Every structure is written in structure tokens, then in C-alpha cells.
Amino acid sequence: MLRSFCLPRRLPAATRFLSSLQRTSVHYPYFVPRNSNGSLPVYTDIRNGGTRFLLSIRNIDGDASALANSLSTELFAPGSPEAMKLQISVVRSKHLIIQGGKWKHNVVEWLVKKGF
């Protein structure tokens, strides 16, 4: 056996610093697990000849209606045109359908800020 495999590995300083940071866990009544590729399960769908844009968040663990309420109040500023167009519905208590615009990047950024 090669000696290099027997020796303990040393991590670079930047990696050791990042791994030593303590994460503060925040508990929400919902959880959005990442898919097998490591990305968030946020998908787009365009219907009616490109006139209707749908966004779906799949496989929500916990209270999907609480996630819908949080999204509707926190994603856009109250009274903004985007907030007026935003329509969120819960499907089978595990999925959300968001209608009203092309907001995939906004939703993904919001989920990442929340710690998912």
C-alpha cells in the first residue's frame, strides 16, 4: 500500500475556517429539502402558448401553507406590482404553485437566505 494513503490529510486553511464556523439553526414549520443534484426543487413551467408562467416548489416537508404565507408576505415589498400579481396555491399539501411572473431566481434567492 502506498504511504500517501496512510498519512492523515490536512485541509487548506480556508476550508478549515469555513468548517469551523458554527451554523445557527432556525426552525420553520416547513422544510424544503434539496434534490439528488444538490439544488433546490424549484421548477418553471410555461403554458398557454407562453402567456402563463408557473413556478412550482416540490416535496415540501411540514406545513406548506406556512411556506406559502411566508413567501407571499416576504418575497416582495407589500403594495408593489409584483406582490399584487403573486398568486400561490398549495397542491396535495406537498407542493406549491406560484403564478404571476418569472420569479424563479427571486424564489431561489429567498430560500437560500432562509437557510435551505
- For residue 98, the enclosing domain spans 29-114
Look at the chain and report how many structural domains it folds into.
1
Q: Does some domain include residue 2? A: no
Mean pLDDT calculated for residue range 54-80:
94
* Residue 23 maps to a domain: no
- CATH label of the domain that carries residue 60: 3.30.780.10
> Is residue 18 in some structural domain?
no
**Residue 22 belongs to a domain:** no
Please report how many Cα atoms fall inside a 13 Å half-sphere around the Cα of residue 41, on the Cβ side: 15
43 domain residue, yes or no: yes
In a domain, 55, yes or no: yes
pLDDT at 15 over 50: no
> What is the edge-to-edge ordering of all strands in the sheet holding 87-91?
42-47, 52-57, 95-99, 87-91
Q: Which of 21-35, 60-74, 94-108 has the lowest mean pLDDT?
A: 21-35
Phi and psi angles of residue 53, each rounded to the nearest 5 degrees, phi first: -105, 125
Instruction: Please give the pLDDT value at position 20.
Output: 45
Q: Is the pLDDT of residue 17 over 50?
A: no
Crossing angle (nearest 10°) for helices 104-114 and 64-74: 110
Amino acid (1-letter code) at residue 20: S
* This prediction's pTM: 0.74
- Decide: helix, strand or coil at residue 74: helix
